[in-house]
Structure 1
Amino acid sequence: MKNNNKSLNGNKTTASTIHMGIDPGVIIKILLKRWYVFVFFMVLSFVAARYYIGHTMPVYRVATSVLIFEDEGNSGSDNDELLKGLGLPGGMRNLENQIKILASRELTERALKRLRFEEDFYYKTVRNDISLYPNSPIKLVYEGKNPLPRNVEFHVEYLGNNDFRLFSEVQNINITSSFGKIIKFPDGNFRIDCINKQWFREFEGYNVSFVVRSLDRLVKYFNGRMSVNVLTRSGSILEISISGTNQTQDVDFLNELTAVFQDISLEKKNMEANRRIQFIDNQLVGIRDSLVLTENQLSQFRSSNRVMDLSAQGQAIITQVTRLENEKARLRLEANYYDYLADYLEKDAVGELPMVPISMGIEDPGLNNLVSELGSLQEQMSGEGGGEKNPLQSLLNQRVAKRKAELLETLNGLQRANKLAMQENNDRIAKINSQAAALPVTERQMLGIERKFKLNDELYTFLLQKMSELQMQKASNRPDNEVVDPASVMYSQMIAPNSTMIYFIAIFLGGVIPMLFFYLFFALNNRVREEDITRFGDLPIMGSIPHIKGNSFTEIFDNPESVVAEAYRLVRSKLQFVTKETKNPLILVTSAMPGDGKTLTSINLSAVYSLLGKNTVLVGFDLRNPKFANAFDLNNEVGVSTFLIGKHSVDEIIQETFHSNLSVISSGPVPPNPSELAASSKTQVLFEKLKERFDYIIVDSAPIGLISDTHHLTTHVDTVLMVARINKTLKDMMGHALQECMASNEHVSLLINDSNANNKKYGYGKKYGYINGQTKRKKK
């Protein structure tokens, strides 16, 4: 027999062309066939999304913007160089400090203390708690402090008229009372006033619930929802936003928060101004007493000595002395400030900023710069968190220590210079006083008194002027920030639920979930499906046999006009085409696994050949599992096994059936060595003798995927018909069986068994088909 590994369409088939992995194309075809499942899931997801949107509380975002004024005192200092070294411009550092202040617990706590948010009134629906702020139908009035336990839920049930029931499941409280009537609790008394009875009529069946929140929980609640961001990188405007279900409450909170933010900034400036004013006032106390005393002394001296004015020489002396005394007063003021600054550095005050020298009338550029930079660094440290773990905090600590050391060194030098200047001033005053010794006694005494008076008067005037300047500065103080856009309900934005995104996700999941399910189901399913047939390389497909009801092996004889019979006739036609050049073809029928239908196929295939008038013999070579004896009611004591062991001849093992042109050779008794018998030379002898006597020889063999017996037969037959049963045969077993067959016989074809009865396409390639041609008889 001529060997050529050709399929019906002429394409060469090898074992390497068999692919049993996951084919995306096949999966896509499977999914497209089940399009209705996708439609169902998408509709279901859409309905679920619509329900979710309709029963979810909307979340609104409200915002306010604040302009932060630049800190002029910090501009131009080497703090900017420090911050630039960290990748942060000086202005941005100031903004970050302000952001931390705005998001701080202290600021939120101060804002909440001004608002009455601890009393949270709401009513319950099936899924949500609907806030009643700011229009709660009831209010709580306390006699003294609030006696209600914190974070405990209470319910008010309206009973009609003016009565209600107050109850709490947590506290096991159940009180019936009237609106406006005192309710006594262990920690105090309170009453519940009804503001709007109409609400209870409109929302009949609903109770008013309320919780008195603790301040800690309120702060966490609002801080957790709030965010502070810089609107633009180059600008100095901060946006404070908060998201929640009650936009009115959030608007009130943000506006109060910015008000407190401004108050804190102004309080800080006023506190600094008060410290400077207090310093000047302390100086004025002593000067004021001295001025009154010297004024009285001068008046009494003039009155008692009847002297009104000094001589020209005395006037010249007092002018010089007064100038030197003023200089001495200035030096004394500087010394007092130096003492204050030394005390500040010694006690290492945290959070307290030093007074700038220029505000005290001390004009020393170097000292002014050092004190200003130290104050700026101290302010940054108070706004920076994280302790030593924060790299910027560590750098600031180093810079503060360095500035303090530099300032202390400068201060020591200034104090020494001040003492020298004071000593020089005293020497000059003493020299001029020696000139006054030449004056008459009376004039000399008056000169001393008038000198002290003018000194105190000018010093007092100077301090009053400084006091006035500081008070004017305090009066002109303004916050370091300004509200640009107050929060408003009108400009709130609904951010959730995002209907468009939810619908998109729902439809997406409605498509992905069934796709993933089907993909996993079919990818993990190792059984052969009809869609997998085209993946067995270019092997010719002889046909597809529909599902046969019942346990009959002889469907062809029992129902010759059935769809199954027509399917086997189609298989016969295609096999005739494959074996047309072979005389008396010998066809081996096998499968990958037991139960795939190879015996059923062998019997019915031999039946259709016999019905064609061909002398056909059916050989049972499944020596381990004989079945033909029962199917045809034959004697199984003789058969293939007895021939192979030499017990019977060919004529003795051939048994006739009740069907014309069909003979059967049963398997015979089960031998102890079936594989060795199949591999013996007598197998070839048996096949040669049968080819001499019959037109077609159909051999039913054992499953090649599990048993080695069939491997010895494939080299003796003209063609191998591999039976694959839909949703039964394992893919890997099928691929292995095909490779085994093709390794020893080039003429291998497929037969699909137990296919979908509704699928009326049978054949080979990608369009194997047979249309049921059974004609229905009309009823008369």
Structure 2
Amino acid sequence: MNHPSVEAGIENPGQQNVTLTDYLRIIYRGRWIVLFSFLVVFTGTVYYTFTTDPVYDATTTLIIDKSNAMENALFDFNSFGNQSTHISNQIEIIKSRTIAERVIKRMELSNVRDSLSLFHPNDDGEYLTLREMAQIIRENMEVINKKETDIIEITYSAPSAFEAAYTVNAIAQEYADASVEFNQGELKDLRKFLEEQLRKKGQELTSSEELLRDYQERERVASLDEETSELITRLSAVEAELEQSQVMLQASLEMKNSLEKQLDERRETVSSELSEISTPYIQTLQEELARIVAEKTKYETAVASQATGVNSDYFNAQIAEYDSKIKSLKQRLEEEAKKLSTSSMVQDPFQLTQELVSRIINLDAEIKANTAKINTLQEVINTYNAQLESLPVKVLELARLKRRQMVDEQTYMLMTKRLEETKIQEAGQRKEVRVVDEAIEPLFPTKPKKKLNLALGVVLGIGLGIGITFLREYFDNSIKTQEELEQLGFNILATIPKIEMSKVEEKLEARLAKMGPMEGKRIEARLITHLDPKSPVSEAYRSLRTNIQFSRVDQKIKAVLVTSSGPKEGKSTTSANLAIAMAQSGKRVVLIDADLRRPVVHSIFGMDKDEGLTNYMMDDIDYDTMIKKSIMDNLYVIPSGVLPPNPSEMLESEKMKKLLERLRNDFDFVLFDTPPIIAVTDAAILGTIVDGAILVVKAGQTNYDALVRAKSLLDAVNTRILGALLNGVEVGGMYGSYYYYYYHHYYSKPGGKKKRRY
């Protein structure tokens, strides 16, 4: 309730301390809204829950073992990466369009194709395209990585348990196959290259050995001296390293070509974008890496040429420093490669493309590093060759043949080792992706969650109803409780429960049946004080009678008017029942219908209004004719009479004052039923000549501001306000239920069952 303070001296109701009881009253008043909201929401929830097609979820679990992933047989690609990035890449690969399309193709070849919903026609008889089916698979798939593990869970949602399990297992299998194909493609090319190089190197080794043997036999030269042998050994080692670097360079070039072919297959625009797979900063890092590798090679060969005087600790420290710089540069290259591979120029729905781009960038770095190393080694070899030129001709030729044989032998052994490593890695590629748990058909659907949905329907339905109730209460400016009246400064004369007209009409019919014909007289069911004197409503009117009698201890109350701020607030019903309650106490009471615009008192008591107050004021009838005897003892009624053109002037006349004085003398209590005070001034006029006024307030209807206005109008003419009557209070609601319970409990038959509810 949103009641602003409008008058000095009146406490702002918005500042009252709100209790739990107040909230319960609000909810009770809005109980039909809450019930309607609950029924609508809950019915909708039930309909949705039991008509929605079920959805089943199936999950398969994979483990990504990067330690078994492809590592280049000649150098380590993975030294540039890290595990978290690798797992993230794998998740994106699983969710890619390419994997989804591979799954669709697998399904098309399976014997369960017709049982899968993806291959069913829609309502128009049309079938989904490959792209549409792939999109559905991607939308219904969820891939997550278990925190701080290499475990990946793939979950798929489908309209049947079988389809969910079958599809998610197909996704896992196609991903594993794609991973093997991708890695084996590189290793296969590398293996073929090494096999060809090893065949050639074997032929070269055989040839160099034969040439050395033939020369020694022909020239009768057995061996070299110690100094020359040492020089040849060092030179052979450098040349072997040179050939190894040349093989690595050639392998890098072959690998790069292989990766570019794979990239070309995955990207239609590769020809225009391959040239952009670099940045100035990446090129700078690659050149710096090549420079450091060259420096390290030059330092190692320089130290190796010194037979003695080498400090091993210093040498190891220098090598460690070079290795640290190389590692740092590779890490920075990896970061830049990752940025470039995820930039707009190389974006692709299939995340393998990003990994291809990253590897190509890393290969470029290796190519530049090996090129720099080869150039450095060639310079060292040239230096050694210059030293050999001083040897005798026969010794020099023997040294060259011996050196060639040693280089070929060392290179052949190294390449044999590398080839075997490559074969092992190629054979073990499938171990990178392993299925931990295959998906099985779920027993129950995951959607809709019937129990949860129904519980939410109850909570949301009631919650929405309560929310609407409180929202309505906030914007509702009507008076609802006697506490609100008290905060406006009113004395509460009574709280009248809402009359249940159906029950009163039943009692009326029963009483009329007992009384028989009543000479044309008729009464209305709203006279509950007469028809059902033991009801809580009748008792409330008797309480009103008592409170009026004792409202002024310094003055006897004999003339009272009843008014309200607006129409249809129960003013006339209150006047009639109050008059009956007064008459039942033994007082002679006269009820005057002073509402000369819309009179209703005559109809309540079953009388004609033609001869009444206005007729007397115009001298058409005498005093005795004006006053009508009702069917109740001690109660008399003065109907309104004919409707005059000037009711306010008539009520303000001197004759009206004299009439009231005469009525005071003839009756114990005079009661005026007047029109609403805000609409016309009639009530304010009569307020100047009566002993007090009663304001009738209809619970939930009388506007707060209108009531304040009505009070101010009466105060303006110095009308003594005896108090307010709160009318139409719900019997089952809080205050009304308390009152009703205690009254009904008191009037229950002795020994009978005490009813706590009416």
TM-score interval w.r.t. the shorter chain?
Answer: 0.5 to 0.7
Say whether residues 1:170 and 2:129 are aligned partners: no
Q: Alignment partner for residue 107 of structure 1, among 99, 103, 107?
A: 99
- Counterpart position of 1:238: 152
- Counterpart position of 2:440: 489
Written as runs of structure 1 = structure 2, the 5 A alignment for 1:410-429 is 414=373, 416-429=375-388
Distance 1:50 1:763, change over 3 A: closer
Contact 2:59–2:165, Cα closer than 8 Å, also in 1: yes
- Counterpart position of 2:63: 66
Distance in 1 between the 2:741 and 2:494 partners?
A: 10
**1:210-250 per-position Cα deviation (integer Å, ceiling 9, x unaligned):** x6x543233323222222222232x3333333333444444
Distance in 2 between the 1:569 and 1:503 partners?
A: 46
Distance in 2 between the 1:604 and 1:727 partners?
A: 21
SS in 2 for 1:496: coil
Contact 1:598–1:723, Cα closer than 8 Å, also in 2: yes
- Counterpart position of 2:420: 472
Q: Alignment partner for residue 549 of structure 2, among 572, 579, 582?
A: 579
Deviates more, 1:743-752 or 1:328-337: 328-337
Contact 2:687–2:714, Cα closer than 8 Å, also in 1: yes
Distance 1:47 1:620, change over 3 A: closer
- Counterpart position of 1:750: 725
Distance in 2 between the 1:499 and 1:766 partners?
A: 43
Distance 1:397 1:274, change over 3 A: closer
SS in 2 for 1:703: coil
Distance in 1 between the 2:667 and 2:742 partners?
A: 30
Distance 1:254 1:724, change over 3 A: closer
- Counterpart position of 1:563: 532
Distance in 1 between the 2:248 and 2:736 partners?
A: 109
Distance in 2 between the 1:118 and 1:579 partners?
A: 97
Distance in 2 between the 1:315 and 1:291 partners?
A: 20
Distance 1:497 1:524, change over 3 A: same
Distance in 1 between the 2:686 and 2:196 partners?
A: 123
Distance in 2 between the 1:240 and 1:459 partners?
A: 53
Deviates more, 1:747-756 or 1:558-567: 558-567
TM-score using structure 1 length? 0.61
Q: Alignment partner for residue 140 of structure 2, among 207, 210, 225?
A: 225
- Counterpart position of 2:131: 216
**1:682-724 per-position Cα deviation (integer Å, ceiling 9, x unaligned):** 7656544543443221222121242233134334322333445
Q: CA deviation at 1:472?
A: 0.9
Distance in 1 between the 2:657 and 2:673 partners?
A: 16
- Counterpart position of 1:203: none
- Aligned residue identity for 1:563: D
Q: CA deviation at 1:501?
A: 1.7
**1:660-699 per-position Cα deviation (integer Å, ceiling 9, x unaligned):** 8736374776354x55665678765654454344322122
Contact 2:26–2:473, Cα closer than 8 Å, also in 1: yes
Distance in 2 between the 1:557 and 1:266 partners?
A: 92
Q: CA deviation at 1:266?
A: 4.3
Q: CA deviation at 1:585?
A: 0.5
Distance 1:265 1:573, change over 3 A: closer
Distance 1:227 1:658, change over 3 A: closer
- Counterpart position of 1:440: none
Q: CA deviation at 1:269?
A: 4.7
Distance 1:681 1:20, change over 3 A: farther
Say whether residues 1:541 and 2:456 are aligned partners: no
**1:96-143 per-position Cα deviation (integer Å, ceiling 9, x unaligned):** 223223333333434544443688756xxxxxxxx469xxxxxxxxxx
Distance 1:471 1:251, change over 3 A: farther
Say whether residues 1:713 and 2:686 are aligned partners: yes
- Counterpart position of 2:565: 592
- Aligned residue identity for 2:571: K
Distance 1:523 1:250, change over 3 A: same
Q: How many residues align?
A: 637
- Aligned residue identity for 2:562: V
Distance 1:378 1:552, change over 3 A: farther
Distance 1:273 1:606, change over 3 A: closer
**1:137-170 per-position Cα deviation (integer Å, ceiling 9, x unaligned):** xxxxxxxxxxxxx96729xxxxxxxxxxxxx963
Distance in 2 between the 1:733 and 1:592 partners?
A: 6
SS in 2 for 1:540: strand
Q: Structure 2 unaligned runs (5+)?
A: 1-8, 261-273, 279-285, 301-318, 349-354, 509-519, 750-758
- Aligned residue identity for 1:476: I
Distance 1:713 1:399, change over 3 A: farther
Say whether residues 1:504 and 2:455 are aligned partners: yes
Q: CA deviation at 1:747?
A: 1.0
- Counterpart position of 2:668: 695
- Counterpart position of 2:23: 24
Distance in 2 between the 1:110 and 1:706 partners?
A: 83
- Counterpart position of 1:153: 121
Distance in 2 between the 1:754 and 1:377 partners?
A: 76
Distance 1:772 1:609, change over 3 A: same
Distance in 1 between the 2:49 and 2:137 partners?
A: 26
Contact 1:542–1:575, Cα closer than 8 Å, also in 2: no
Contact 1:592–1:737, Cα closer than 8 Å, also in 2: yes
**1:345-403 per-position Cα deviation (integer Å, ceiling 9, x unaligned):** 9986959xx9x999xxx99875875896588558746874666999xxxxx99999999
Q: Alignment partner for residue 626 of structure 2, among 655, 660, 663?
A: 655
- Counterpart position of 1:175: none
Written as runs of structure 1 = structure 2, the 5 A alignment for 1:276-315 is 276-277=190-191, 280=194, 283=197, 308-312=217-221
**1:308-349 per-position Cα deviation (integer Å, ceiling 9, x unaligned):** 453347765996896556754654554675688799799869
- Counterpart position of 1:57: 54
RMSD: 6.2
Contact 1:556–1:607, Cα closer than 8 Å, also in 2: no
Distance in 1 between the 2:124 and 2:358 partners?
A: 59
- Counterpart position of 1:95: 87
Distance 1:472 1:742, change over 3 A: farther
Distance in 1 between the 2:223 and 2:638 partners?
A: 162
Q: CA deviation at 1:66?
A: 0.8
**1:235-270 per-position Cα deviation (integer Å, ceiling 9, x unaligned):** 333333333344444444444544444444444554
Contact 1:705–1:736, Cα closer than 8 Å, also in 2: yes
- Aligned residue identity for 2:548: V
Q: CA deviation at 1:62?
A: 1.6
- Aligned residue identity for 1:311: R
Distance in 2 between the 1:552 and 1:54 partners?
A: 62
Contact 2:232–2:403, Cα closer than 8 Å, also in 1: yes
- Aligned residue identity for 1:505: L
Contact 2:239–2:407, Cα closer than 8 Å, also in 1: no
Distance 1:611 1:690, change over 3 A: same
**1:526-570 per-position Cα deviation (integer Å, ceiling 9, x unaligned):** 888xx7567544612175666476998855999996227986697
Distance 1:492 1:676, change over 3 A: same
Q: Structure 1 unaligned runs (5+)?
A: 1-13, 84-89, 123-130, 134-149, 155-167, 172-210, 391-395, 438-446, 643-647, 776-780
Distance in 2 between the 1:109 and 1:583 partners?
A: 99
Contact 1:623–1:641, Cα closer than 8 Å, also in 2: no
Distance in 1 between the 2:703 and 2:729 partners?
A: 14
